[in-house]
Amino acid sequence: MNQQTAVTQPNAAKKHLPDAQTVTEVRHYTDRLFYFRTTRPQSLRFRSGEFVMIGLPGEDGKPIMRAYSIASPSWDDGLDFYSIKVQDGPLTSRLQHIKEGDEIILRPKPVGTLVLDALLPGKRLWFLATGTGIAPFASLMRDPETYEQYDEVIMMHTCREVAELEFGRQLIESLPEDPLIGEFVGDKLKYYPTTTREESKWMGRVTDNLASGKVFADLGLEGTQMDPATDRAMVCGSLDFNKDVMAIMEGWGLREGANSEPAEYVVEKAFVG
């Protein structure tokens, strides 16, 4: 089921901005995190895990554009986004106020390295994220190909506080019962949410829980570290997070891949700075 269902026809009469898409839903999680959904341009084809440029017109009329992971899977007829709110951020100081029916600018040129094609075949796939870095995995966790290609999928997500995990938790808990994707997910998806500040069931950084083998013990996984023969990983967080996770995986013998040269893991920044 790698279906490309009919995508929403943009309402030409309502278009005011170039490359405009209409916001169809907004949900706020914390004072720093929110989700929104938009219509999908008919011309937009992408691979689950890729990102696009989205934005709003600035005060001077010039668009303020930023990279955003598409958080919905490639077969979905709308587009999901999961966003930070930076109070003095040029884009998100305003984007955080969007409402249903508003328009955003979306450049329909998807790119990115967090795609299944950039990995060699394997058995166990790891999604490793902090903060909004879960967005591309919200897409990949809903793509049937993820479960067709791997026996086991592990989503490790770390935030400071429990409320910051809520978007991912709601999504992941809904998947086994999802009428479209549930049968593919089955019991293959294992979720390991951790916090670094607020007390919760599992605590600590992705890096520490990987390096110490704690995640393997807590989830009852085979082995105590990744095996380059069978483990594949995708990483999305801050620059420091990405570097630390890469160092651990390189130590286990995994190598970084790319679209042009698939290998054992791929990495993308969740933001610049």
What secondary structure does DSSP assign to 81-103, as a single string? EEEE--TT-TTHHHHTT--TT-E
Asked whether position 269 contacts ligand FAD by CB under 6 A, the answer is yes
Q: Which of residues 119-138 bind ligand FAD (CB under 6 A)?
A: 131-132, 135
Amino acid (one-letter) located at 203: M
CB of 51 to ligand FAD, least distance (A): 5
Q: Which of 63, 78, 90, 204 binds ligand FAD (CB under 6 A)?
A: 90
Cα Rg, the chain, nearest whole Å: 18
Tell me whether residue 165 or residue 226 sits nearer to ligand FAD (CB atom).
165
Size of the site for ligand FAD (CB under 6 A): 23
Asked whether position 98 contacts ligand FAD by CB under 6 A, the answer is no
Tell me whether residue 207 or residue 226 sits nearer to ligand FAD (CB atom).
207
Q: Which residues on adjacent β-strands are paired with residue 263? A: 119
Strand 78-84 relative to strand 33-39, pairing:
antiparallel
Tell me whether residue 39 or residue 139 sits nearer to ligand FAD (CB atom).
139
Is the separation of the CB atoms in 190 and 157 below 8 Å?
Answer: no
Torsions phi, psi of 53, nearest 5?
-95, 125
Q: Which residue is nearest to ligand FAD (CB)?
A: 89
Q: Which two tokens stand for residue 44?
A: 């937009």
Sign of CA dihedral 249, 203, 48, 2: positive
Q: Which of residues 58-87 bind ligand FAD (CB under 6 A)?
A: 66-69, 82-84, 86
The binding site for ligand FAD (CB under 6 A) comprises 51, 66-69, 82-84, 86, 89-93, 131-132, 135, 268-273
